[in-house]
Amino acid sequence: MKMEIQGFVEDNVPIGKDVFKCTLDIGFIPGDILPGQFIQISCPGKNLTFLRRPLSVSGFIPPILTVLYKVVGYGTQNLSELKKGQKVDLILPLGRGFSKPAPHQEVLLFGGGIGIAPLLYYIDYYHTIMPSLTFNLYYGVSREDEKIEITLPDPFPGNIVYHIDWREGQYNGNLLDCFQTVPTESFDLSIACGPISMMKAFSNHMQERNLPLEVSLESRMACGFGVCLGCSIQTFDGSKTVCADGPVFDSNQIDWTKVWTT
């Protein structure tokens, strides 16, 4: 059940190049927010904005909600200047989240850039209720200063691989390049989030091996709940909206030949 509520900034700090971590006190809401779901947040500030911005949830321990975001325009610039105690308007929870794992499964998580946000929540959420799960986290960024410090369970129940494409002016391949030789058959569930070009390449990689994959897609959004159709994507079941039908999709359902990736 989506709700329109008010939240108050608890903290809002830079954690990487143009990347911020914002914690919000949203009070105690009925129901839950599932990993892979997102919020629409107002962006009050000096820049005039009319639309809320969609942000993946990276953590939720009631009443505190955590989001990560990258400053890319006027709205997120306003967000980056918010101070403790300031009020924002929220619509939540929105969208379809990732599938629930089963106890004792081995889960692959593949994230690029700010796409790490919902994967962090997935780990925290399901590790809490299913400590028997094993996680294999692959996290990549383009450059060293884009890497963010992430908080994970300690000890971490699985493996972590960090990858940086460019180091000291030298290109070292991308996250998928370093993943090519990984024996993916051992994973019971695979989920991914990141730039569309990365999701397309990784989906092709998994399809070639006849392995299932869920992808969380990034998209510009206006309404956030499927009315304006501004975030439509072509699937083999027809046109779908990323905000309402997704943002999580079975990668095999997406017609990647019709997905704009540049």
Mean pLDDT of 73-87: 97
**CB burial string 126-165: b at 16+ within 10 A, e below:** bbeebeebbbbbbbbbbeeebbbebeeeeeebbeeeebbb
Could you tell me if 11 and 84 are in contact, meaning their C-beta atoms sit under 8 angstroms apart? yes
**CB burial string 4-32: b at 16+ within 10 A, e below:** eeebbbbebeeebeebbbbbbebeebeee
- What is residue 230's predicted lDDT score, i.e. its pLDDT? 83
* Between residues 262 and 143, the one the model is more confident about: 143
> Strand pairing partners for 106?
134
Closest by Cα among 42, 48, 55, 33 to 5:
42
Q: How far is residue 169's CA from residue 176's CA, in Å, rounded to a whole number?
A: 20
CATH architecture classification, 106-258: 3-Layer(aba) Sandwich (3.40)
Per-residue model confidence as pLDDT tens digits over 127-136: 999 999 999 9
Rounded to the nearest angstrom, the gap between the alpha carbon of residue 53 and the centroid of all alpha carbons in its chain is 14
Q: Is the pLDDT of residue 169 over 90?
A: no
Q: Among residues of the chain, what percentage have pLDDT more than 70?
A: 99
Domain extents for the chain?
3-94, 106-258
Q: Is the pLDDT of residue 221 over 90?
A: no
- What is residue 261's predicted lDDT score, i.e. its pLDDT? 61
Question: If you count them, how many residues does the chain have?
Answer: 262
Q: Is the pLDDT of residue 262 over 80?
A: no
161, 163, 167, 172 alpha-carbon torsion, rounded to 10° = 110
Q: Is the pLDDT of residue 171 over 80?
A: yes
3-94 topology per CATH: Elongation Factor Tu (Ef-tu); domain 3 (2.40.30)
Q: How far is residue 207's CA from residue 204's CA, in Å, rounded to a whole number?
A: 5
SS3 label, residue 56: strand
Confidence of residue 22 (pLDDT cuts 50, 70, 90): very high
- What is residue 223's predicted lDDT score, i.e. its pLDDT? 81
Q: How far is residue 81's CA from residue 94's CA, in Å, rounded to a whole number?
A: 25
Q: Which pTM value belongs to this model?
A: 0.95
Per-residue model confidence as pLDDT tens digits over 115-127: 999 999 999 999 9
Mean pLDDT of 138-145: 93
Per-residue model confidence as pLDDT tens digits over 236-253: 999 999 999 999 999 999
DSSP H helical ranges for the chain: 74-80, 116-129, 175-179, 196-208
Concatenating the DSSP letter of every residue in 82-117 gives --TT-EEEEEEEESB-PPPP-TT-EEEEEEEGGGHH
* Between residues 180 and 42, the one the model is more confident about: 42
Residue 147 is which amino acid? K
